[in-house]
Amino acid sequence: MKKGFLSECFEGVVAKRLSGVESNPGQSHQHEFNGVKALKQLLGDERLTDCPTRFVWFGDENEGLSDDSLVTWYDSRENHPTRSEYRLYFRSNPIMELASEGDLLIVARRPAGEIMIIVVASDSTVENQLLWLFGVPVQIGIGFEYRDFEGQDTEVDFAARYILDELGIDIEDPEADKLDALLERFGGIFPRTAVFSEFARNSVPEVMAQDDPDAALLAWMGQEEKLFRRMERHIVADRLNQGFADDEGADVDGFIKFSLSVQNRRKSRAGYAFEHHLIEVFNACGIRYDSQAVTENKSKPDFLFPGSVEYHNTEFPTERLTMLGVKSTCKDRWRQVLSEAARIQDKHLLTLEPGISENQTNEMMAHRLQLVLPRGLHETYRETQQPWLMDLDGFIGMVREQQV
């Protein structure tokens, strides 16, 4: 098995749209999917009894739930001499109770034999992301389609890592030893975010922002993410080895506090890293800006071009002003940008989130918000969305023209 490839996470998947019979308890009480050819390609001919299975449900932009259960793959006519009829049986669980007709269903087999059953609300961002990750057509119907990753490895890039993280899957980096050697200078203690971001950039000296801003931003973010996860792994392992116990026994509160601190550090670190690297890109490209400048009602847009002085000068032409909101993950929070820098009607938002749903991008258009993404993420969006997207190089070119 190659490290750093999608086959490290999945042997294969099947996908389909849920029918009313499969998703509506009022129409049917069945707890199984018929084992058509695609399912047999994924699961084989041998019976699997009480196979450990992670059920995952994704609803709208910020909703998610998981549940561990068991499934059985069997031939319901195994005693018949000439006929077979395979079925995948699952026990009643909270995930399938949330499923609706038309939702995307993905059954995935992990290398260790575990099965994942993922249900995703139709027309959602997560649906877009998973269709892209697994190479499933947007027009998929109620019949299963099979995707095999053995022998046709898809390398896990920044976008794929983002989506796998949403699924709770951490993929091992093939350069782990090299990364560990780089991190020795910090002695197992996280430095300030700006210092760590600079360290990540310096560790890939061949990347030049002035040559390709889009590629540079993704390369720097990807490198910092790898370094961060390696260092986090060592720090968390050391803390777990110490154990969580006090005079009264298990220190449950201490464990919960530590777990929350790990999650919070991941979220805040990603946002800071994004801004640090973006500042380096703007500096390398020689454009003027102010970061966190105060505008109306004490709002602070992430970036204001050419700066605060020009913004507050009523005689400075409005058409030469630009604001940029920055959110590493967009979700529903893009609306926060609309109330910033009231003088500028056409606003811009830069994000690293792949495959945002058409419903969301249509709303952005209606509110005169232009989405900006590194060019390498554009392919995760549907073909109907891509012509509207702006890349970072295009945004910088627009701002540079305004500053001439």
- How far is the C-alpha of 186 from the C-alpha of 192, rounded, in Å? 11
Matching residue, tokens 């560790």:
203
What does the pLDDT read at residue 381?
A: 96
CB count within 10 Å of CB 197 equals 26
CA 207 – CA 297 distance, rounded (Å): 39
Q: Give the burial class of 280: count Cβ atoms within 10 A of its Cβ; 0-12 exposed, 13-18 middle, 19 or more buried.
A: middle
* Cα 162 to Cα 70: distance, rounded to the nearest angstrom: 27
pLDDT at res. 2: 46
d(CA 134, CA 118) in angstroms, rounded, equals: 12
Residue type, 123: D
Q: Is the dihedral of CA 12, 17, 19, 20 positive or negative?
A: positive
Distance of CA 404 to the CA centre of its chain: 37
Q: Can you give the pLDDT of all 404 residues of the chain as single tens digits?
A: 344 578 888 999 999 999 877 766 554 456 788 767 899 999 998 899 999 999 999 987 667 889 999 999 998 776 676 677 888 998 888 898 888 899 999 999 998 889 999 999 999 999 999 999 999 998 899 889 999 887 666 678 888 888 998 888 887 777 778 778 888 888 888 889 999 999 999 999 999 999 999 999 999 999 999 898 888 888 888 888 888 887 777 778 888 887 888 888 888 888 999 999 999 999 999 999 999 999 998 999 999 999 999 999 999 999 999 999 999 988 888 999 999 999 999 999 999 999 999 999 999 999 999 999 999 999 999 999 999 999 999 999 999 999 87
At 36, which amino acid appears?
A: V
For the chain, the 3-state helix, strand and coil shares in percent, each to the nearest 5, are 40, 20, 40
Helix axes 252-284, 193-202, angle to 10 degrees: 60
Angstrom distance (rounded) from CA 364 to CA 338 = 10
DSSP, residue by residue, 131-183: HHHHT--TT--SS-EEEE-TTS--B--HHHHHHHHHTT--PPPTTHHHHHHHH
Note whether 43 and 109 are within 8 A (CB): yes
Burial class (CB in 10 A: 0-12, 13-18, 19+), 72: middle
Count how many residues are written for the chain.
404
Round to whole Å and give the CA distance between 333 and 244.
36
| 81 within 8 A of 352, measured Cβ to Cβ | no
User: What is the pTM assigned to this prediction?
Assistant: 0.87
Closest by Cα among 333, 329, 330, 302 to 395: 302
Backbone angles phi, psi at 224, to 5 degrees: -65, -35
DSSP 379: G
- CA dihedral for 170, 172, 178, 180, sign (positive or negative): positive
pLDDT at 82: 62
- Residue partners of 28: CB distance under 8 A and separation at least 6: 21, 22
